[in-house]
Amino acid sequence: MEKLDKRVDVWMVGSIGIDDIETPTASRKNLLGGSLPFATIAGAFAGATVGAVGVIGSDFGRTFLRRWETFGINLEGIQRKDGPNFRWACRYDDNLIERVTLKTELGVFADFMPEVPESYKNASFVLLGNIQPDLQLHVLEQADKPRFVVLDSMNLWIDIARPALERVIRKVNLVALNDGEARQLTGKWNLRDCATAILEMGPKYVLLKKAEHGSLLFTDKAIFIIPAYPVQMVKDPTGAGDTYAGAFIGYLAKARVTHTAIIRKALMFASAMAAFCVEGFSIEKMEHISREDVAKRVHELWQMVSIS
């Protein structure tokens, strides 16, 4: 992609997909998907300048790129390769909670070797989105001593690449997993026990995500409970976790500080952003809201957990 002069506050690596999504009330094809569009756009909503590291195939349309760029994302780290783009399809259950994967075609994503552009390298904040842990290590080695690195992963890598995953966990500041993944990784059921086990692997923070039930942030000294915003009309949950992670690190990158109080505020911001994400297919809802809309929802969320 073309080179921009603007330095980035944070860069993120992840997948870029073309998705088919079936819900009880709709069936949508050829949607912009993958973790990276959601995460980077959410980070941009926090006011951060975001760089994207990923790969697209020859069938990834210009329209997708234009829509993505509209959010001011720096796409210099996106490689275009000959061959089909990563494609994924799923079907959600009646309540939009569980989903079954109908199709996973890796395409050019199978040989993805992420490279961090020179202009990103001194960014202080990094999101290692859910890709193969060895690639997360490879891409992290290209960063110039980042101050705060967030790691996302998934059940697949816990199954087939645990040693590499444990190596990358040791190198990051915050590990974000959903409750099921944390239980799978640690072999423990109680989430406090899961968090303790993961903290012992090295990171200062562990974030355990519980979808519509919010999340729990653990340090060795404290627990913070982050509510989920109660969404009235969920259309498509795809990308909510990526939105959460991207909004979170984008908020930190904009604030340029990483103390615990800011981390808590960043998570409330992330919760509000993720609630918008699920109100539309793909990135569609995020294309129709303003930063003021997000600020209003963050305020609402604080009201819901405060006395006054």
φ, ψ for residue 90 (rounded to 5)?
-150, 165
- Give the Cβ contact number of residue 58 at 10 Å: 12
Please report, as a single letter, which amino acid is at residue 121: K
Q: Please tell me whether residue 113 binds its own copies under the rule CB under 8 A.
A: no
Q: Minimum CB separation from its own copies for residue 102, in Å?
A: 23
Q: Minimum CB separation from its own copies for residue 61, in Å?
A: 34
The residue whose two tokens read 């992609």 is: 1
Choose the stretch contacting its own copies; rule: CB under 8 A; options: 45-53, 59-67, 232-240, 276-284. 232-240
The residue whose two tokens read 């989920």 is: 228
Choose the stretch contacting its own copies; rule: CB under 8 A; options: 98-106, 145-153, 238-246, 298-306. 298-306
Q: Minimum CB separation from its own copies for residue 195, in Å?
A: 9
Q: Across the strands, what pairs with 31?
A: 19
Taking CB under 8 A as the criterion, the residue among 82, 261, 290, 292 binding its own copies is 261
User: How far from the centroid of its chain's Cα atoms is residue 116's Cα?
Assistant: 18
Task: Tell me the C-alpha distance between 173 and 202, whole Å.
Answer: 8
Please report, as a single letter, which amino acid is at residue 275: A
Q: Please tell me whether residue 216 binds its own copies under the rule CB under 8 A.
A: yes
Taking CB under 8 A as the criterion, the residue among 163, 233, 290, 292 binding its own copies is 233
User: Binders of its own copies among 137-166, rule CB under 8 A?
Assistant: none
With CB under 8 A as the rule, give the number of residues binding its own copies. Answer: 29
Q: Please tell me whether residue 188 binds its own copies under the rule CB under 8 A.
A: no
Taking CB under 8 A as the criterion, the residue among 83, 202, 214, 289 binding its own copies is 214
Q: Is residue 306 a contact partner of residue 298, using CB atoms and an 8 Å limit?
A: no
Q: Please tell me whether residue 257 binds its own copies under the rule CB under 8 A.
A: no
Q: Please tell me whether residue 122 binds its own copies under the rule CB under 8 A.
A: no
Planar angle of CA 250, 179, 134, nearest 5 degrees = 65
Burial state string for 156-182 with b = 16 or more CB within 10 A and e = fewer than 16: ebbeebeebbebbbeebbbbbbbbebb
Q: Please tell me whether residue 266 binds its own copies under the rule CB under 8 A.
A: no
Taking CB under 8 A as the criterion, the residue among 63, 101, 232, 290 binding its own copies is 232
Q: Please tell me whether residue 191 binds its own copies under the rule CB under 8 A.
A: yes
Burial zone of 248 (CB within 10 Å; 0-12 exposed, 13-18 middle, 19+ buried): buried
Binding site for its own copies (CB under 8 A): 94-95, 189-193, 210, 213-214, 216, 222-225, 227, 230, 232-234, 261, 264-265, 303-308
